[in-house]
Chain A
Amino acid sequence: MTRLEMKQRKRDETATRLEGKALPTGAAWATSLRQAALSRVLDMGLPTKRDEYWKWTDPSTLTSAAPTAAELFTNDDKALFSDIDRLKIVFVDGVFDAEASDDLSGEGVNISLLSQALNTDIHWAKDLYGTLETAGQSPVERPLAALNTAFATDGVVIHVTDKVSKPVSILYRHENTTSDAVLHHVVKLDAGAELTLLENGPAAARFNKVMEVDVADGASFHHVRGQGRDHERRAVTHIFARLGKESLFKSFTMTANGILTRNEVVIELTGDDAQAHVGGVCMGDGEFLHDDTVFITHDAERCESRQVFKKVLRNGANGVFQGKILVKEGAQKTDGYQISQSLLLDGDSQFLAKPELEIYADDVICSHGSTTGAIDEAALFYLRSRGVSPQEATDLLTLAFLAEAIEEIAREDIADDVLTRLEAWLARRKG
């Protein structure tokens, strides 16, 4: 079959799959944005394992008409971020829960639901909804993000006008074993504004989430998320960010459990002296696949980007990293750094990595590294010779391995919270 025939087949299959599926209703502008998104999906076709970008992560359960059921998982651990003073917004299986949520008003920040925004004739989200997603479709297609823009039922739209110290926290609860949630958040930070956004919880049996973040000149956006611990849940998420001059974007993700997770982050540095840091730790045990796919484009001078991803895998867990730094012509003095590492706690687990650099400017520093390894035997013996048990020594070395990524979290109380969760994960697997 030729390439063209394959593409046509994909389009045909996608058309059949989406045939008769109604777009959510809304204001005329919203409907036209959704229709445009649907056209993009139909043109690209939903991804299959034959696609280069999906060769290590089978998307079939993410694209199927119905989600695969996922059992709920409960334990006595305190939920992540529960000790942090924050403004809570709760979604249960993708549906906003007003009762469990806080009042959405706050100083320096204007929050509403996407469903409301898309039903309003004049709304600032009109200029952003699907805009960064569309821009992020080139040079690599991301059909599941366009699918999200077309069919998202709700989400949060946040307009930050000032420095906001209290984090906005989106909590996802999963109660229905066959739920299929599609949420889309839009965050707009005005010049000089600041926001910390927290996300945590398993969301649904299957979760498709897009977040578009527009960071204006001198603004700072901090994002920390913990992806739900339900063992059988599946998730595909995209973050699209555009960074203005001297702005800062930091995103950190912790993933423990989950049968399938694909996190794509697409960042465009468009203003000089901007900084983008994206990092994550994942802990996989057993039937588990975690895929971090990152694409950072440097399109301005003196920008800095860092990608720091660490994975701890055991009992046949799989890790994937596809990370790219694209330095466009004229993006001089770019400082790009990328590291992806995995710690395999046994011989059954696997880590696949594709680090890429594409550079069209001549005065840049870009470094990348990727490693896969077991626990350092010399360090393990050194600890044991000092009286530390093999289990405790392994935990200590595991946390040490993750430290560089956790350091990417700016706020110490939030970093400590993440660390406590990781320790609990390790402790639960003892004995």
Chain B
Amino acid sequence: MLEIKNLHVKLEDEDKQILKGVDLKVEPGKVHAIMGPNGSGKSTTSYVLAGREGYEVTEGSATLDGEDLFDMEPEERAAAGLFLAFQYPVEIPGVGNMTFLRTAVNSQRKLRGEDELSAGEFLKIVREKAKTLKIDADMLKRPVNVGFSGGEKKRNEILQMAMLEPKVCILDETDSGLDVDAMKLVAEGVNALRDGKRSFVVITHYQRLLDHIKPDYVHIMSNGRIIKSGGPELALEVENNGYTDLLAEQETA
């Protein structure tokens, strides 16, 4: 499914290497967590995969079902089944949330050569999915993310994910800025999308999100590389001892 090999990335405008050889293989239906201290390259990994400008891939590759992601425009990557839940969802004044969702769904269908959903079909699906995420009619009518609370923004990301039905979902610090109840609601939304085929890459600082979204694998990222991989117990180790021990271990190795 998603395969990242020896990925090296630098900032386009600066001579600053951020990723220094990331390897990651995500099989269908699996949940991978990536943890690591600030500045380790976690968010950069997600942005580069989604196709944000400002980065330069200097070495390595990333493929989705064998297709080279770096050969595709951001919208093509989305249509191919990649979804990034933003750490900071963007506010778009003047564009209604419903219009945004419908445009996104139909654009992807168009790119895949499928028929567009009619207004009625779309409305039925969005109402149903919004309900389970406790997103009310008002939030659907308002401009995209404008005036939304932190929790509402993140729930709105999950709603988009639910509507777009991607193959691989990358969640970039979806737990940041959320209180426990909001985090549970988001986690429930994510878990509802686990169907044995869809995979997830959950980027987080803290173990607490992983109590709700149970990972199959945990990777620790530091200084642009994945320095250690393991099962869910690795996240607990981080929670108990912090990153210091792991980083020290790496240095002596």
A residues lining the B interface (CB < 8 Å):
376-379, 381-390, 392, 396-397, 399-404
Contacts and interface: CB of A to CB of B under 8 A. Distances in A.
B94 A385 contact: no
Interface in B63-109: 73-75, 77-79, 84, 86, 89-95, 99-100, 103-105, 107-108
A379 B92 contact: yes
A406 to B, nearest CB: 10
Nearest to A386: B104
B95 to A, nearest CB: 5
B53 A400 contact: no
A396 B52 CA distance: 19
A390 B51 CA distance: 13
Contacts of B111: 387, 389
B108 to A, nearest CB: 4
B94 A401 contact: yes
Contacts of B79: 387
Given A385-B74, A387-B105, A388-B103, 11 more contacts: A381-B90, A384-B73, A385-B78, A385-B86, A386-B78, A386-B108, A387-B78, A388-B107, A392-B103, A402-B94, A403-B94
Q: What are the 9 closest A-B residue pairs judged by CB atoms, nearest first?
A: A400-B94, A387-B108, A387-B78, A386-B104, A382-B90, A384-B74, A403-B94, A400-B95, A388-B107
Interface residues of B, number: 30
29 contacts: A376-B92, A377-B53, A379-B91, A381-B74, A382-B90, A383-B92, A383-B103, A384-B51, A384-B73, A385-B77, A385-B78, A386-B104, A387-B79, A387-B105, A387-B107, A387-B111, A388-B104, A388-B107, A389-B111, A390-B75, A392-B103, A392-B107, A396-B95, A396-B100, A397-B95, A399-B94, A400-B92, A403-B94, A404-B94
Interface in B14-39: none
B164 interface: yes
A340 to B, nearest CB: 16
* Centre residue among B94, B104, B105 by max chain A CB count within 10 A: B94
Interface of B: 50-53, 73-75, 77-79, 84, 86, 89-95, 99-100, 103-105, 107-108, 111, 143, 160, 164
Nearest to A381: B52
Contacts of B91: 379
Contacts of A392: 103, 107
A378 B90 CA distance: 7
Given A378-B90, A397-B92, A400-B95, A383 B104 contact: yes
Contacts of B95: 396-397, 400
B233 to A, nearest CB: 33
A383 to B, nearest CB: 7
A389 B77 CA distance: 11
Contacts of A402: 94
A385 B108 contact: no
A387 B86 contact: no
A388 B75 contact: yes
B78 A400 contact: no
Contacts of A401: 94
Contact of B84 (A385, A388, A390, A397): A385
Given A383-B104, A396-B103, A389 B75 contact: yes
Contacts of A396: 95, 99-100, 103
Contacts of B143: 400
Contacts of B84: 385
Tell me whether chain A's interface is mostly helix, strand or loop, or mixed.
helix
Contact of B86 (A382, A384, A390, A400): A382
A396 B143 CA distance: 12
A397 B103 CA distance: 12
Nearest to B103: A388
B94 A389 contact: no
B60 to A, nearest CB: 21
B94 to A, nearest CB: 3
* Centre residue among B78, B104, B143 by max chain A CB count within 10 A: B104
Given A381-B53, A381-B74, A396-B95, A387 B104 contact: yes
Nearest to A404: B94
* Centre residue among B73, B77, B92 by max chain A CB count within 10 A: B92
A9 B53 CA distance: 57
A409 to B, nearest CB: 15
Contacts of A397: 92, 94-95
Contacts of A384: 51, 73-75, 78
A146 B143 CA distance: 45
A151 to B, nearest CB: 43
Nearest to A396: B95
Contacts of B107: 386-389, 392
B75 A400 contact: no
Contacts of B93: 400
B90 A387 contact: no
Contact of B89 (A376, A382, A389): A382
Contacts of B108: 386-387
Contacts of A389: 75, 107, 111
A407 to B, nearest CB: 10
B185 to A, nearest CB: 21
Nearest to A398: B94
A378 B92 CA distance: 9
Given A387-B104, A387-B164, A392-B103, A382 B92 contact: yes
Contacts of A378: 90
Contacts of B86: 382, 385
A384 B95 CA distance: 15
A386 B160 contact: yes
A381 B73 CA distance: 10
* Centre residue among A377, A383, A392 by max chain B CB count within 10 A: A383
* Centre residue among A376, A384, A390 by max chain B CB count within 10 A: A384
A379 B73 contact: no
Contacts of B50: 385
A337 B70 CA distance: 48
